[in-house]
Amino acid sequence: MIAQTIALSISNFPAAMLILALILGALGRPRGAAASRFLGWVLLLPIGAVGLWAGIAHVAFPQVAAEHIGWQVSPFQFEVGMADLAVGITACLAFWRPWEFRAAAVCAASVFLLGDAAGHVRQMLVAGNFAPGNAGLPFYMDLIAPTLAIALLMASRGSARRTAQ
């Protein structure tokens, strides 16, 4: 029972971080314009914390990560893990930074995550890879998190301009 609960928590970590970001944004912490507040939480949790989580998984537990995605273990997992860590750290730092830093973090994360989503689609079509880590929650989060971040970034631009004046 405990092992199943832990496994369920780990496999749903990305969705849990998205839900938590939306809850914290709705609670109004920190105070400020809503779009900027939500963007901060989306950067910190479903992009930042999940990037760190995925990076650690690829680097420290390559066999588990590969099996979940439907891959063979590969030395490229280390490089993917380092990219995940870079995006995760940058997104976490963006939580406390001004709009321009957040824009750069959203740009980098979006290229990486939407590129991941395209890779998932390619694996589904070319290799028939419908493993949970390829065609499941990670695929949807690779679409949802950057799309939401881009929308919030655009919506927060006006408040960033007013604050700078």
The pLDDT, as a whole number, for residue 124 is: 97
Total domain count for the chain?
1
Q: What is the DSSP letter of 72?
A: P
For residue range 101-129, what is the model confidence (pLDDT) as tens digits? 999 999 999 999 999 999 999 999 999 99
Residue 97 per-residue DSSP state: S
Q: Can you tell me the distance from the alpha carbon of 11 to that of 132, in angstroms, rounded to the nearest whole number?
A: 9
What percentage of the chain's residues is helix, strand, coil (to nearest 5)?
85, 0, 15
Alpha-carbon distance 36 to 98, whole Å? Answer: 10
Q: Look up the domain containing 81 and give its range.
A: 2-164
Which stretches of the chain are assigned E, i.e. beta strand? none
pTM of the model: 0.90
Query: In tens digits, what is the pLDDT along the chain, a chain of 165 residues?
Result: 666 766 666 779 999 999 999 999 999 866 779 999 999 999 999 999 999 999 999 999 999 999 989 999 999 999 999 999 999 999 999 999 999 999 999 999 999 999 999 999 999 999 999 999 999 999 999 999 999 999 999 999 976 665 554
Mean pLDDT, the chain, as a whole number? 92
